[in-house]
Structure 1
Amino acid sequence: IETKDCASTSQAARLTSLAGIDSAYFWICGLIAALGIFFILFRRTVTEAAPQPSDEVARRGIGAVMADALRSRWAVLGGAAIFLYVGAEVAIGTQMAFFLHSDAIWGHSDAPLAYPLIGHIMGDDGIFGISAEQAGKAVALYWGGAMVGRLVGSALLARVKAPRLLAAFTAIACVMCAYVFAVGGVGAGVVALCIGLFNSIMFPVIFTITLERTTASEEATSGFLCFSIIGGAAIPPLVGYISGMTDYVTAFFVPAICYALLCIFSLASARAPVRHRAEDAAPATVH
């Protein structure tokens, strides 16, 4: 339980707060159970609706198909790009509330409340500094930026080639991360929230770029790219470890490296030959 100005809390207040956590996990458990029951009852309908595997997959088996993906340089590079992108996005999002609440950013300042949208979402609790609860509310802007950015990105992709747009977005995200750990302060919190806006188009664009350049089959490439989202489970613990050893601000250098590598990937893809037309490639999965 967070308190300010050396305030104390009673045992009853602590138990009430912990009870809220218990009820949240109860509802999460109930939702998972409901999904399990749904799939058990309607498993035949779900199976019939699922697309049938191609003749190649049925003949060779999933192991051989994935080996085909690993033999393609662009399938491997695309998988690495997805790994880095998802890892960077999730790492920033999972630590955003702690980052904003830290003393080096918003913990000892009311300045963020002056920003119209940010101040409206967080609300003023009348206590100096941004509390953990207020910072948690502000995280919605990070994920919401990704949604808004997809709408803007769709319009831009109609006018700008995908590799160039990806290079621009990844370069901007890299610079924003560098600003956060190099400069810090109240402005760094606003900049960090805006990174979500530039994350928006990365997954579908990486997916499409890879499918256009891979020498492996669409099934093998798509499966390997989907597998590569494990970056969302690998990079966040690394960022968390670094933030524990140093601070939340310094840990932003890890996402900065990820975005820099993604920028290199996009620049390389602009020079690579396109083997499949975009309209012939499998549609990109929205993440």
Structure 2
Amino acid sequence: MTKNRYLFPFIMITSLFFMWGFVHNLDPVLIPHLKRSFSLSTLEASLVDSALFIAYFLMALPAGFIMKKYGYKMGIIIGLGLFAIGSFLFIPAANTQMYAFFLGALFIIACGLTILETAANPYASLLGAPESATFRLNFAQSFNGLAATLAPIIGAKIILVKGVSEKQLQSMTESARKIALASEASTVKMPYLILGIVILVIAVIFSFLKLPEIVETEEEDQKESWISSFLRAFTYRHLNWAIVSQFFYVGAQVCVFSLFILYATKAAGIDQQTAAKYSGYGIGLAFMIGRFAGTFLMRFIKAEKLLAIYSVICIFLSVVAITSAGTVALYAVIGIAFFMSIMFPTIFSLGIKDLGRDTKFGSSLIIMSIAGGAVLPPIMAYIADRTDIQIGYVVPLVCFVVVFMFAVKGHKVIPNRVAA
């Protein structure tokens, strides 16, 4: 009876993982597209990621407050609403041809995603038996991997249209050049309009759904202030480790995904359209298969042990990505995508383990640490502008070292005397 009660809510929650995975994985296409349209440096183009991921830092605590006060369902509806609004704002952004407008629209989308992830991650983890929480969250996150496969392929066909060549642009007058680039930039309008409509439909479905509200403990003090809950969450050692680890992991993932097309064109000498195919059929597909494979392996290997093994492999592949060239370099990065695929949900589920009534704020803090996706890619982009984008892979390498430390030591739960 309980399993049947949780089945459809789990299916709907899983659909959210696909949707935010899709919009995130349009970034590898959006970055080179806007870089060309606005004649940006790699560092300036990487602000696409910063606009998205800084919202996680700013909105995570308000998201936790919404969850604590109004519950998961209302949080999901609010998050979907902001997601849709940000998507629709791409139309006036393209019309006005202002890069800052694009960044603002992405920021609003990310505010919605922050609320969605704050709700959906713990909800998927808690919809069922505690002993299978990590398995359940990895399974739901696997559909995030499916989105990582489809988004670059679909996005490249719609957004990365072949416009005028660089040689033709150089021969044009300034006004003609602006018109040509404006025409290319406008290709983002249709995909984000369709995305916004789909998200609104999902929001309407959720508004009519009867979702079971998850109660972390039966003895939760409803009168306790959110400040007390927030401060107490920091007293869990394994949660603090998870916050730091997630910061570095997300930074690594965004570096690998969002800068892949720029990396591939340099390291392997291929064009953007071909690089986008590698991004989808290579990076995205490897990420998705890695999620399903990792979920299967967790039936036989403890989550923290698998996390440690995978992080060591990612460290090695990062070295290969720095030192090799051609298809070897491409397949090294694709390998990183496969082996880092389980990291986010595994860090998340280990981080909120045994938090009880502090799960909602613990979840908010881990989601807050997704700001690593705003901080670390610009560092990699800065290195790329000053030296070479392959040298920039030292940033993901360091990130995977931090994840390894969490897997070996930081995940261990120490009884929290303050909350006991």
* Alignment match of 1:67 (pick from 231, 235, 238): 231
Q: What is the CA-CA distance between 1:163 and the residue it aligns to?
A: 1.4
| Partner deviation per Cα, 1:41-97 (whole Å, 9 max, x = no partner) | 678547x64737767474223332221212222111111111111111011111100
- Give the corresponding residue for 2:147: none
Pick which of 200-209 and 8-17 moved more.
8-17
Match of 1:163 in 2: 304
Task: Return the TM-score normalized by structure 1.
Answer: 0.73
1:188/1:57 CA distance change after superposition, 3 Å: farther
Question: Is the contact made by 1:79 and 1:225 (CA closer than 8 Å) also made in structure 2?
Answer: yes
Q: Structure 1 residues 71-80 or 205-214, which shifts more?
A: 205-214
Aligned to 1:200: 341
Q: Say if 1:74 and 1:22 are closer, same or farther in 2 by CA, change over 3 A.
A: same
Hey, what does 2:246 align to over in structure 1? 82
Once the two structures are superposed, the pairs formed by residues 153-232 of structure 1 within 5 Å of their partners are: 153-212=294-353, 217-232=358-373
AA aligned to 2:353 is E
Alpha-carbon shift at residue 214 of structure 1 (Å)? 5.7
Aligned residue-pair number? 247
Q: 1:63 to 1:193 in 2, by over 3 A?
A: same
Give 1:64's aligned amino acid. S
Shift of 1:255: 0.4
Q: Which structure has the larger Rg?
A: 1
1:153 shift after superposition: 0.7
Q: 1:223 to 1:194 in 2, by over 3 A?
A: same
Is residue 134 of structure 1 aligned with residue 274 of structure 2? yes
| Aligned residue among 354, 367, 379 for 1:238 | 379
CA contact (8 A) 1:212 1:275 kept: no
Deviation at 1:26, TM superposition (A): 4.7
In the alignment, is residue 92 of structure 1 matched against residue 256 of structure 2?
A: yes
RMSD of aligned residue pairs (Cα, Å): 3.3
Residue 248 of structure 1 aligns to a residue whose secondary structure is coil
1:111: which partner in 2?
Answer: none
Please give the secondary structure, in 2, of the residue aligned with 1:200. Answer: coil
Q: 1:94 to 1:44 in 2, by over 3 A?
A: closer
Residue 235 (structure 1) shift: 1.6
The alpha-carbon distance between structure 1 residues 30 and 262, as it changes in their structure 2 partners (threshold 3 A), is same
Q: Deviations over 1:137-165 (max 9, x none)?
A: 21111122111011111121111111111
2:213 to 47, 51, 64: 51
Q: Which runs of 5+ in 2 are unaligned?
A: 1-162
Deviation track 1:247-287 (CA, whole Å, cap 9, x = no partner) reads: 110000000000011111111147x35769xxxxxxxxxxx
For 1:237 and 1:136, the matched residues in 2 are separated by 21
The TM-score, its normalising length taken from structure 2, stands at 0.52
| Identical amino acids, percent of aligned pairs | 22
Change (3 A) 1:16 1:181: same
Distance 1:235 1:57, change over 3 A: farther
Q: Distance in 1 between matches of 2:212 and 2:369?
A: 22
- Report the residue type matching 1:195 in the other structure: I
What secondary structure is seen at the aligned counterpart in 2 of 1:60?
coil
Q: Deviations over 1:186-242 (max 9, x none)?
A: 411221122110111111211222233669832332222222222222222221122
CA contact (8 A) 2:305 2:408 kept: yes
Structure 1: give runs of 5+ residues left out of the alignment: 108-129, 277-287
Output the CA distance in 1 between the equivalents of 2:375 and 2:347: 19
